[in-house]
Amino acid sequence: MSEALRIGILQLEGATSKEENLSKIRKLLSGARADLVVLPEYSMAPLPLLNKEGLAKVAEPVDGPFVKELASIARERGTSIIAGIYERAGNGVYNTAVIISSDGELVASYRKVHLYDAYGARESDYFLRGEEPPPVVDIKGWKVSVAICFDLRFPELFRTAALQGTELFAVPAAWFRGDGKEEILHALARVRAHENVAWLALAVQYGSHFTGRSALIHPMGYIALDLGYGEKYVETEVSKEELGKAREILPLMKLRRPEIYRGVCG
């Protein structure tokens, strides 16, 4: 069991062309040495630059060319990759995160459960809602789960994964700019990490529509790494020793009282 996991966080300024974005991703990851790389939501192309017809043209099945190219990068760099894509399925499109192993295999995928119908936006005009909780997968001996952007506002999703042993949350995001939005983003990410005593890697789109400010959050709820602004790729390590110390100090899973609130929380 690996005690440390090297995490890469890629902050992308997406273009309308999938090919251009793949070229950017490949270039930014050319020197990657991470065990796991997290890419943002909307990695195929930023949603504000697409109408519904354009989205339908960009979207692909999870075994389509875009994911296959990410799988090729994963094999070449020897790293697992988590990325947000537009998944075409049946007559609709899902906002989906794919989890690709270091040997280029699609391990799992997660369709975004909570769509961004807030602040005057309506993701549900573009996407179908996912109906399943995110999977918990093994990456180099670490239990990793995934959530997507607006999911950060729903603690139930994270607690469900935490109760399955999640040690690291990977969160692809495209957090829209606005008054106080950067502070809200970091506040939510810090709370989700702290209340579940787990690491959280947040990869956010950057650009005219999006905040950037990708980050790594420590299990004790503080920001261990803030990528700030601009398109960039940064690597750092997460430690099981630090995770264990945090869980010893703050044994929240053991202190829960589900018999009290199960009826209310479902």
State how far the Cα of 46 lies from the Cα of 207, in Å rounded to an integer: 9
pLDDT of 236 over the 90 cut: yes
Cα-based distances in Å from 16 to 58, 127, 204: 9, 18, 17
The pLDDT assigned to 263 comes to 76
Q: Kindly list the domain boundaries of the chain, sorted by start residue.
A: 4-265
pLDDT tens per residue across span 68-105: 999 999 999 999 999 999 999 988 999 999 999 999 99
The pLDDT assigned to 2 comes to 57
144 and 136 Cβ atoms separated by less than 8 Å? yes
Q: At what angle do helices 65-77 and 18-28 cross, to 10 degrees?
A: 10
* Cβ contacts of 232 within 8 Å, gap of 6 or more: 10, 11, 28
pLDDT of 169 over the 80 cut: yes
Secondary structure letter of residue 151 according to DSSP: G
Q: Which CATH superfamily is domain 4-265 in?
A: Carbon-nitrogen hydrolase (3.60.110.10)
State phi, psi for 130 to the nearest 5 degrees: -70, 155
pTM beyond cutoff 0.85: yes
Instruction: Label residue 1 by pLDDT band (50, 70, 90).
Output: very low
| Collapsed DSSP state (helix, strand, coil) of residue 47 | helix
- Torsion on CA atoms 214, 220, 224, 230, rounded to nearest 10: 10
The structure tokens listed for 145 are 């789960």
The CA-based angle 180-181-182, given to 5 degrees, is 95
